[in-house]
Structures are given as C-alpha cells and as structure tokens.
Structure 1
Amino acid sequence: MISRNIFENISPLDHRYSLKDEFQAYSTYLSEEAKVKYQAQVEVALVKVLAKYGICSEEVAKEVEEAAQKISVENVYEEEKRTKHNIRALVNCLQDKVSEEAKPYIHFTTTSFDIVDTANSLRYKEATEELILPNLKELAETLMEIALRDKDTIQVGRTHGQHAVPVTFGFAIAEYVSRLGNRIKELENRAQNLRGKISGAVGAYNASHLFFTDPEEFENDVLAELNLEAATHSTQIVEPEYLLDYVHSLISTFGILASFSDDMRHLQRSEIAEVGEYFDKDQVGSSTMPHKRNPINYENVKSMWKEFMPRMVTRYQDQLSEHQRDLTNSASSRFIPEIIVGLLASTNRLIKVCKKLVVDHKNLKKNFDQNKEMVVAEPLYILLASYGHPDAHEIVRKLTLEAEERGLPLRELITEKEELEPYWAKFDEKQRQLLINPEKYIGIAVEKTEKVVDYWQEELELD
C-alpha cells in the first residue's frame, strides 16, 4: 500500500482542498478507490442476474458479491502492472477470491467498457444525488434567506457598469436563486439520464446472444440491479452525449457560481462597499497592507471556474470516437471527477461565506443617493409619452443635461418649462410623488423577489 504525505501530492485538489472536512465524502464516489469499487459492483450485478437466468447458481452470485467487498485498489493496480489492462486486472483479483466454480461467471459475456461506462454513470449519478444536489440546494436556500431579508433594501441598479434605475438588494440576489434553481433541476435530470451498457465488444450483443434469446432484456435486468437504464444504442462504449450533457450541466452551474461571485466581488470594491466578507479576528488580508480585507472567497470561486470551465472543450472532443471505439478519451475522461470536486469545493465555500455575508445598508443608500435625482428621467419620459408628448425622450434628455449643468434636481426643472405645464397638470398625485421620491421607483422588485423565492422553495422541495 502506498503511503504518502498529502503535501507530496501534485493536484491542489488533494493537497490544498483535501484539508476541508468535506473531502472524505467526495472520495466515497470520486476517488480511484471508489472507481474500482463501483466497477466491482457492476461485475456483481452481472453475476446476480446470471443466477436469476439460471446460468450460474445463487451460491456463485453470493460468492462473487463477498469477493467484491474484499478486493483493494492496491491489489488491482499491482495486477495491472502484469496484465497492462485495468479491467482484466479487476477480474483477475475477483477470481482469485472465489471458487473454481464461480470464476467463469465473472465478466461473463461483457467487455471492459460495459463495466467502465456503467460504473462511471452509476457513481456520477450517486455523487450527484448524495453530494452535489444537497450542497447546491443548501446554497440556494442560503441565497433565498438573503433575498427575503433584504427584499426592501434599496440598491441602485447597474447596467454596463453605470447607475441605472433602482432595484432592491434582495431582488438582485433573487436573480441567482432563479438561475441556480434552473441549473439544479437540469443537473438532476441529466444525472438521472446517465446510462449504462451490457452489450459487449462492439455493442451488438454478440456474446450475450449466444446465451439469451433477448440479450437486451438481459442487459436491462443487469442495469436494473444498479438502478440504471441502458443507452438506446451503444458500440463498445455508451453513447457519449449522456455524459457530455451531464458535464455541461456541471460546468454551466459552475458558471452561475462564478457570475454571482463576480458580482459580490465588485460590490466589495472600496468605492462601492455595499457588501463584505466576514473576517475572523486573526485573518490577514494582505502581507504588507494590514488594513486590507480582500474578497478572497469570491475570487477563489471565480478562479476555480476559470480552471474547470475550459475542460468542457475536452468533453466535446471526447464526443468523437472512431467506429466502435478508439482510446482517445481514455486519459481525458479520468479527469471528470476533478470537475465535480471543483464544483463541490466552490459550492461549499459559497455556502460558508454567504451565511456570514455582511450587507452595508448605509453604503447602499449612499450609492443610490449619488444619482437618485436622475433616476426620475425614465418615469418622467414614460409619463410624458403616455399623456401624448410627441418627443418625450428628447425633451427629458435635454432636461438631464441642463440639470447636470445647473446642479439642480431634474424634477425641479419640470415646472419651469412652459411646454411641460399641460402635461404636468395631468399627472396624478401618485405619479408626482414618484418623481419626488425616486426610491419608490422600484417596480415590483419586492413582490418579484418573494415570488421567485416561493417558486423555487416549492420546486426544490425545501422546508
């Protein structure tokens, strides 16, 4: 058995992020040891169904199941040095632990990628159900709490990096509740649609057809033992699009985490300072500037996304395999667990930082007040147009320039312009108050925030 200090490892996922408590759970599904155990699980399912079909005895099936619990990844790797084939090494290790009677039925009628592709689909599906979805839902729930807590907190809207009409901070967070909710549902669907195969060397059931009148039914029965369905067609490998779509759902989910982190990072800029990360009493923001409090968690998520997002290109390349199969995805496909771990590590980081998110209400108001008098340009233009002004946009545009030049609130200029008096007289009290109190011009931001949160609480079945 290889024993190595974690700081001698090469991947930062191992020596840096494995220091987190969650890493042990990741290893259950995504480690090399887990991969071998899932492959053995497929071999066991095969023999169990062979017993149901009367090809071998129930005793043989039980014997193989017990053997699968005893094999170690170290033994399989040691055997692979001799065979130069990983699945043959696994089969040999299993056969070494069973009787002569049981040996023939291990790997019976299957090819290596019946085992590899099926095992990968199973472990990614279960990792999604047990790790990814619960973590993403916890993050979504945390964002919902922030959205509802600050649903009435005024925030200047921003488009193109410029101040726009106002929203609320809760409304801004609700965007990510909705985007993340949609990705959670998509990821759930794609994980459920991961497929397996027990169709032999070229996918035509050549070997199993020797023994079963309906080899597809046999395949379905083996996969049912694993709670999987068969691909509608396979060669030596499962159709790659099932896994491709699954990984795309991971990467696009990662993109939402990066987008949210980018927004939160920018809102922490010194000149904006609308939110802040919680700092521990001994935490250091800079090695040379003791006053600094950097947005390190949000920056880490953005950085992790930058690492894993381009790997989607490799997944598209893995979509191509010559004829019934080549080996050009053999190495690249082994890195898919890293994408999952990267997403999980970033999700857990955001859960922790968002639960301690500091919202600076004073700075939110200060930033809104900077341009609040210009906010009324939009409702003024719309109201003038609604009462028949032939060139409302142009007159308001000129008014904004004059207001800036004279240093006056835009609304004060309205009553100075004779041509606007007939229109101003038509405004009702509610409309006039809106022009006097720009902070009220938030549309249905509060109601929409509540609606979004209610919808996704129900869709994601959150308490």
Structure 2
Amino acid sequence: MIERNIFKNISPLDHRYSLRKENFEDYSKYLSEEAKIKYQAQVELALVKALAKEGICSFEVVKEVEKAIEELTAEEVYEEEKKTRHNIRALVNCIQRKVSKEAKPYVHFTTTSFDIVDTANSVRYKECAEELILPTLKELQKILMEIALREKDTIQVGRTHGQHAVPVTFGFAVAEYVSRLGNRILAIKESGERLKGKMTGAVGAYNASHLFFNNPETFEAEVLEELGLEASTHSTQIVEPEYLTDFIHALVSGFGVIANFSDDMRHLQRTEIGEVGEYFGKDQVGSSTMPHKRNPINYENIKSMWKEFMPRMMTLYQDQISEHQRDLTNSASSRFIPELIVGFLSSVNRLIRTCRKLVVDQENMEENFNQSKEMIVAEPLYILLASLGHPDAHEAVRKLTLEAQETGQTLRELIQDKEELEAYWQKLNQKQKELLTKPEKYIGIAVQKTEKVVDYWQGILNI
C-alpha cells in the first residue's frame, strides 16, 4: 500500500479542506479512487447474479465473484493497469485471477467498459446523495430555519443595489435562503434518483447480450435492479449524459445559494455595518500585521470555493458531446467530478459550523435602520397620497425627500407644512399616520412570511 504524507498531496482538498477525519472518511466512502473501484466491482457482481438467475452460470460462480471482490484492492487494480493500459480490463483481470477456471468466463460477460463505469458512477453518486449530501444539506437547512425564527422580529433595514431600502427583519432575510436551499435540496434529491445505468454493450444495441437473451432489455433491468437503478431509456456505449449533467447542475446551483448567503453575511460584517459576526476562537488571528482584525474568513472561503468549482459545470456541459456512439473526450474530465462534490460538501460543512455560532448584533441593526428611518416613509407616503387621488404623488414625495435632506426636517413634518398637501394629510386615518411616525412598523408581513416559509420547508423536508 502506498503511504504518503498528506502535505505532499497536490490537491488542497486532500491536505487542507478535508483534514477533519470524520469528513474525509465520509467523502472517501463514495468519492475516492478506492470507492470508484469498489462500486465498479459491485456492478460486475450484479451482472453475475443476474446471469445466475437466468441459468447462464451457477450460483457457485456468484459466491466466487463475491469473495473475489471482497479481497480486491485498488492497489492491485492499478498495478494491473500498468500492463493493460485499460482500467476496466485491469479490474476484470484481477477478479478473474481470484476465481476458478469455471467462473472466469462470466466475469464481464457480454458487457463493455462503460456498462461498468457509467453504471457504477450512477450508483455511487446516487448513494452519496441519499446518504451524505442530502443529510448534510438538511442539517444546514435546520440551522438556517432556527436562525430565521429566532430573528423573525429583529428589525433590519432592507438593501437594494447596496442602498438602504424599506425595512425587513433579519429572520425574513434568512428565510430567503431557507426557501432557496430547500428548492435545491429537492432538485438534488430528484436528479439523484433519476441517475441511470446500462447493460447494452459496445454501441448500445445489445449486440452481445442478444446472443443469449430473447429480450436483452429484461436482462439489463435484472442487473440494474440488483444495484437499485433503472436503465437509461436509450444508450450508446454510454448512458445519456443529461442525467448526470442535471445532477451536477443541481449541486452547483446549490453551491451558488450558499455562496450568495455567505456573501451577504460577509458584507454584514463590514466595519461600517457590523450587523453579524463570526465566532472567533481565543487564539484565532485575523491579520498577520493588524492584531485588531477579525476577518469573515469562513464566509469568504465558501465564496472562494464556489468560484473554483462553479466553472467546472461548463465541463459537464461539454461532456454532453460525444461523437457517434462514444468518444474518449470525457475520460479524464469525468474523473474530477468527485472533487466538485467534495468542494461543495466541504463548504456546506463549514457553513454549518459557522452558522451554529452566528452572532447577531441587534443593536447595530437597529442603529443602521435608524440612519434612514425618516426617509423610509417616502414609499408608504407616496402610495397613501396616490390612494387619496394625488395626481403625481411620486414626484411630490421625491421633492419632499430633497427638501428633507436640505433642511433636516422629517417628511411627516414637511407634508403638514405644505398647503397643497395638508388636505391629504387630514384624510389619513390614525393607523396610517402612525405608520408614518413609526417606520419600524412598515415591515409588511415579514414576520408572518418568515414563519410561513419555515413551516412550509419543515413539512416538505420533514425536518
């Protein structure tokens, strides 16, 4: 077995971003080179099981192959590949070497390499989604829900184009990401369940299996049933690439959601904003030269990881193109898909750890809101004037905002001083006037919407 100091690894996923033992072992179970070979061997075993059920070989052959793949190591397959220069032929040779002369012919019987490769990838990515990706995302979703409900009444100035807008609550702002992440969880689940396999042979026309089965599609279904998969509706030497493309797209767009959330939280930690903060350990350093700094490193790291892995989606789109029944132009690029999944999971786990200790400065949120609270009433004022029949309410209020900025008077004071607007002011009821004097109440149904969003996704995701 090759042993290597992790700090001599080339990929930062191995020597930097997977240093947590529990995370690395979780990722490795599905996404390592060893795991890939293990899943490919399981496809070979499923093939032999289906052959035995059809009476092509004995069930003793199944036992032999099952024992052989239990003993199989990635190292021996790689050593064999040095001679064969072909990964699946190397796998087959290693299995055949461990079984009897009678069993050897049925290993890889009637199949081509990508019956094994594409089917194995579909199984491992499907299982990775069900057993690792989705539970991890649901853990993050649960934390975001808790924050949203906890902060549902916390007043926060809304921001559009980087400028103060009308108020929301911080819980409402977080509920946006509860909804977006929820939709991505569903997309990952559905696209993962749709991943397909194949047992159709070299060009997809069942040429070899048709020699032995009147209905080779039924045999294909029997093999794939052993693996919990269904067949692609059509295949060439490869499974239709759109199934995998859709699955990875769901992951990448999910990555975009957590990157957007992280970017929002990063900006809310700006010195002049200071509405949230990351937890800092007692020995943690923010800057090599400025001891007072406390940088938003976790949120920045997540955005940076997204920048690295998001463009890889373009490679998946390019891998949709395969000439005629198949070319080899995806043979190298497809090997890097596990890195994308690990990068995503690493960032989700980082966000889980960070959000568990999210610090919300409610006083600073209120202080920032107060900077613009008097101008915020411009929107309800203009809408109320329009509702009372003012012919150009927006322009009238726009001019009032300019005057307010010049004189320091509030909009509600100015409207009462303007003879042409006084009649409209008198028509306002007490509730409307109160809204103009207490802008913090102008939050629409932010609180109720937050509760509704969380309740909806709790039901849909059963968390």
TM-score category (smaller protein):
over 0.9
Q: Report the CA distance between 1:18 and its aligned residue.
A: 2.2
Corresponding position of 1:411:
412
Query: 2:163 and 2:412 mapped to 1: Cα distance?
Result: 21
Corresponding position of 1:446:
447
Q: Report the CA distance between 1:92 and its aligned residue.
A: 0.5
Conserved? CA contact 2:18–2:346, under 8 Å:
no
Corresponding position of 1:99:
100
The reply to whether residue 281 of structure 1 matches residue 310 of structure 2 is: no
Matches within 5 A, 1:283-432: 283-432=284-433
Corresponding position of 2:7:
7
Structure 2: which amino acid aligns with 1:17?
A: Y
Matches within 5 A, 1:205-216: 205-216=206-217
Query: 1:281 and 1:352 mapped to 2: Cα distance?
Result: 16
Q: For 1:45-82, what per-residue CA distance to the aligned partner results, in whole angstroms no more than 9, with x for missing partners? A: 00000000000011111111111111000000000001
Query: 1:69 and 1:25 mapped to 2: Cα distance?
Result: 20
Secondary structure of 1:316 counterpart: helix
Corresponding position of 1:230:
231
Q: For 1:27-61, what per-residue CA distance to the aligned partner results, in whole angstroms no more than 9, with x for missing partners? A: 00000000000000000000000000000011111
Corresponding position of 2:85:
84
Structure 1: 5+ residue stretches without partners? none
Q: For 1:114-166, what per-residue CA distance to the aligned partner results, in whole angstroms no more than 9, with x for missing partners? A: 00000000000101111110011110110000000000000000000000000
Secondary structure of 2:71 counterpart: coil
Secondary structure of 2:417 counterpart: coil
Q: Report the CA distance between 1:408 and its aligned residue.
A: 1.1
Structure 2: which amino acid aligns with 1:8?
A: K
Secondary structure of 1:164 counterpart: strand
Q: Report the CA distance between 1:235 and its aligned residue.
A: 0.3
Matches within 5 A, 1:45-194: 45-194=46-195
Q: Report the CA distance between 1:111 and its aligned residue.
A: 0.2
Query: 2:367 and 2:303 mapped to 1: Cα distance?
Result: 28
Percent identity, aligned pairs only, is 76
Corresponding position of 2:202:
201
Q: Report the CA distance between 1:414 and its aligned residue.
A: 1.1
Query: 2:7 and 2:426 mapped to 1: Cα distance?
Result: 75
Structure 2: which amino acid aligns with 1:133?
A: L
294-303 or 418-427, larger mean C-alpha shift: 418-427
TM-score by length of 2: 0.99
Structure 1: which amino acid aligns with 2:435?
A: L
Secondary structure of 1:155 counterpart: strand
Query: 1:19 and 1:408 mapped to 2: Cα distance?
Result: 58
Structure 1: which amino acid aligns with 2:150?
A: R
Structure 1: which amino acid aligns with 2:270?
A: R
Q: Report the CA distance between 1:330 and its aligned residue.
A: 0.2
Query: 1:217 and 1:411 mapped to 2: Cα distance?
Result: 77
Corresponding position of 2:456:
455
Q: Which runs of 4+ in 1 moved over 3 A?
A: none
Query: 1:289 and 1:421 mapped to 2: Cα distance?
Result: 56
Query: 1:401 and 1:18 mapped to 2: Cα distance?
Result: 55
Aligned residues: 462
Corresponding position of 2:17:
17
Secondary structure of 1:163 counterpart: strand
Corresponding position of 2:221:
220
Structure 1: which amino acid aligns with 2:400?
A: L
Structure 2: which amino acid aligns with 1:306?
A: K
Secondary structure of 1:425 counterpart: helix
Q: Report the CA distance between 1:104 and its aligned residue.
A: 0.5
TM-score by length of 1: 0.99
Query: 1:123 and 1:460 mapped to 2: Cα distance?
Result: 23
Q: Report the CA distance between 1:380 and its aligned residue.
A: 0.4
Query: 1:133 and 1:224 mapped to 2: Cα distance?
Result: 23
Structure 1: which amino acid aligns with 2:92?
A: V
Query: 1:57 and 1:11 mapped to 2: Cα distance?
Result: 45
Structure 2: which amino acid aligns with 1:80?
A: E
User: Pairwise CA RMSD of aligned residues?
Assistant: 0.5
Q: For 1:342-380, what per-residue CA distance to the aligned partner results, in whole angstroms no more than 9, with x for missing partners? A: 000000000000000000011001100001000000000
Q: Report the CA distance between 1:2 and its aligned residue.
A: 1.1
Query: 1:183 and 1:49 mapped to 2: Cα distance?
Result: 36
The reply to whether residue 249 of structure 1 matches residue 254 of structure 2 is: no
Structure 2: 5+ residue stretches without partners? none
